Structure 1
Amino acid sequence: MTKIWSRCIQYSKYGPPKEVLTLGKIQVDTNLSSNQVLVKWLASPINPLDINKIEGHYPVPPDFPIIGGSEVIGEVERVGSDVKSLKPGDAVVSLGMTQTCWSEYAVIDETLLLKIDKRIDLVSAATLLINPPTAYVMLKEYVDLNPGDFIIQNASNSGVGRSVIQLAKAFGLKSINLVRNRPNIQDLKNELHQLGADYVFTEEEFRANSRTFLKSLDTPIRLALNGVGGKSCLAISNALGSGGTLVTYGGMGKQPHEISTSGFVFKNIKAEGIAITLWLNQESQENVQK
């Protein structure tokens, strides 16, 4: 048998997910070339960027029909003759967000798969590609931070935000975390403090008290992490000290990213952006494995 049928979730036009997603079938050619791998996908999360893709808000060229998904955990079923790094039974995650994640099977080039420890539970493995690496790279690659340094972020209860909190704690950094106001906000604050957050404010609380709070810190904030945009981006970029860096990884507020002119001109702050899959694909396999 050189072809198998694979169920998939796909869309043929942009729009609300409930209206455009359909369950279909595709044929997967199992006659592998030398560097290809047949993978059985086991689990794939629904990320906010998946919704953005489906609605047409993400910079991916349309090539309908599109199979959904961005990150996924799978098991190797078969490998091509020249594949050396993988073998049947290995657990793998995809390194490319254009793979057919929301399907049962896929044929993937060896270079686009990363072997992981099979002891990692399914849910953690399925969400391993995007959020934790984004948090790690933002904390490690843009500013040379030392234990005791402050970082500030919005979207602090998101997947990336929670990873930032835990990694910052492990690295000895102090995190200032902004979240949207909601019912039972104190429960959320307590939860983030338990993860390792040093400070948690609603957006409104921080805007009202930021001047007094920032003056109370014993060292300037050197890194701000932005996943929202709009006024939220303005608030955390304004909190940066002289020479600080703003790193943007998302725009879930669907508003332009706001940064004050005085921050650029008088504090010489820097603004950069990161797409983790581009970073992973540009880095050496050795660095990615680390």
Structure 2
Amino acid sequence: MISSESLIFRSFGDPLKVLEISKVEVPKEPKEDQVLVQWIASPINPLDINKIQGAYAVRNELPAIGGSEGVGRVVKVGRNVTKFKEGDHVTTFALGTVFWTEYCIVDEEDLYKIDNRIDIAVAATFMINPPTAWIMLRDFVDLEKGDYVIQNAANSGVGRAVIELCAAWGIKTINIVRNREDVGMLKTELWKLGADHVFTEEEFAEMGKDLMKEIMHPPKLALNGVGGRSALVICSTLARGGTCVTYGGMSKKAHEFSTSGLVFNDIRIRGIAVTFWIKEGDNEEKFKKCFEELQNLAVIGKLTAPPMDRVRFTDHKEAIRKTMKGRNKKQLFIINESYRQNSKI
């Protein structure tokens, strides 16, 4: 057995109180169709906080190890494994996989290989935000070059991925962010990623109608990660029959949609969670295309990671605190210390 340092919670509650460092025993020898993975890095996502609080849609069995995505290195493969070899870099989308631990056994069929030219921060955050952006842009509305997409939470991980994908595909974006002290710097960041228009909520309330008159066609697609009145605002710009896809609720307020928009403008309201979407219909095949396309863009630098702090497990309380407070850099656990100074895996 291998002694694997992990971040564990034994009860649901405040992550600052229930999350602790502990050792777990992991088999040295994977079974015939399994792979022993050494995790390199894993971020803290909002859903990780929700899982620890017991507020996520799917509850972990306790005790549980934290984390929802990450990048790892293959240490050993079972005798029937053919897709992977020692040293390959991998990730998984399987529900129930543990990430905030040094080692883990994963079934071969649940693993995906990651190109080793991809930056560690991108590779570690490749399983939730970029696929969510890809699916929303590809699977709900037929978008063509020159079409407009409007989104709130434009500075979130998903929002940044939306901007970069749209820039790569020739789709224009209208982006809304919350006001803050450094909003000028934030706007510059998003413009550099390829954003066409960036507004604070207050600016869009004042200038949004004028912009809608200027553009040739109203947006076909609105992407909602905030909820509350912000959902109402972006939906009000949609073309007749347009679609609003919700992937989050950062405001923690009920999502607002107008009766007139639904009845007289025939807008569609949809939702997306990657791990559930993959299991529906023929989506596994679609996802293979998604994963390949995202990797290709990451290799050539057209898909990047949001700004991050690299932290150790021993710093988990401060990292969790920053995540829960918001408006801080994303927190990335570097689990394998040999990769701490390396930008590439």
- Is the pair's TM-score, using the shorter chain for normalization, greater than 0.5? yes
How far did residue 133 of structure 1 move?
1.3
Whole-Å separation in 1 of the counterparts to 2:172 and 2:221: 11
Counterparts in 2 of 1:62-211, with a 5 A limit?
A: 62-211=60-209
87-96 or 278-287: bigger deviation = 278-287
- Following superposition, the deviation at residue 87 of structure 1 comes to 1.1
Contact 2:60–2:96 (8 Å) recurs in 1:
no
Per-residue deviation, 1:276: 1.3
SS at the partner of 2:276? helix
How much has 1:194 moved relative to structure 2? 1.4
Q: Which residue of the partner structure matches residue 287 of structure 1? A: 289
Q: State the one-letter code of the partner of 1:238.
A: S
Structure 2 distance, partners of 1:130, 1:158, is 12
Tell me what 1:254 maps to: 252
Whether the aligned pair in 2 keeps the contact of 1:280 and 1:288 (CA below 8 Å) is no
Deviations along 1:103-146, one digit per CA (max 9) or x if unpaired, are 00000111111001112122111111111111111111111101
Tell me if structure 1 keeps the 8 A contact 2:131–2:290: no
Cα drift, residue 33 of structure 1: 2.2
- Structure 1 segments unaligned to the other structure (5+ residues): none
State the Cα RMSD in Å: 1.5
* 1:35 aligns to 2:33 (yes or no): yes
Is the contact made by 1:71 and 1:97 (CA closer than 8 Å) also made in structure 2?
Answer: no
Looking at structure 2, the residues matched to 61 and 167 of structure 1 have their Cα atoms a distance apart, in angstroms, of: 32
Specify the alignment match of 1:239 in structure 2.
237
Specify every segment of 5 or more residues in structure 2 that has no aligned partner in the other structure, as ranges.
293-345
SS of corresponding position for 1:61: coil
Tell me whether 1:59 sits opposite 2:57 in the alignment: yes
Structure 2 counterpart SS, 1:277? helix
Distance 1:156 1:288, change over 3 A: closer
Q: Report deviation, 1:62.
A: 3.6
Q: Measure, in 1, the Cα distance between the counterparts of 2:288 and 2:185.
A: 41
- The residue number in structure 2 matching 1:4 is 2
> In structure 1, what residue type is equivalent to 2:88?
D
Partner amino acid, structure 2, of 1:60: V
* Greater relative contact order, per chain length (Cα 8 Å cut-off, separation 6+): 2
Partner secondary structure for residue 242 of structure 1: coil
Q: Does 1:22 align with 2:24?
A: no
Going from structure 1 to structure 2, the CA distance change for 1:62 and 1:73 (only over 3 Å counts) comes to closer
- C-alpha contact (below 8 Å) 1:39/1:106 kept by paired residues: yes
Residue of structure 1 in register with 2:43 after alignment: 45
In the aligned structure 2, how far is the partner of 1:115 from the partner of 1:140?
23
Contact 1:37 1:108 in 2 (8 A): yes
Q: 1:117 to 1:62 in 2, by over 3 A?
A: closer
Give the secondary-structure state (helix, strand or coil) at the position aligned to 1:192. helix
SS of the residue 1:41 aligns to: strand
Aligned length: 288
Q: Cα deviation per residue 1:187-246 (whole Å; 9 max; x = unaligned)?
A: 111211111111111112212333232222211110001111111111111111101011
CA deviation profile, 1:148-171 (whole Å, cap 9, x unmatched): 100000110011111111111111
Q: Which amino acid aligns with 1:271?
A: I
Instruction: Tell me the CA shift for residue 90 of structure 1.
Output: 0.6
* TM-score, reference length from structure 2: 0.80
One-letter amino acid of the structure 2 residue matched with residue 61 of structure 1: R
CA distance in 1 between partners of 2:237 and 2:95 (Å) = 33
- Contact 1:69 / 1:97 at 8 angstroms: preserved in 2? no
Q: For structure 1, which segment, 215-224 or 273-282, has the greater mean C-alpha deviation from structure 2 after superposition?
A: 273-282
**1:222 and 1:241 in contact (8 A); partners too:** yes
Q: Distance in 2 between matches of 1:140 and 1:158?
A: 19
Superposed displacement of residue 289, structure 1? 4.4
How far 1:249 moved relative to its partner? 1.1
Offset, 1:16: 2.2
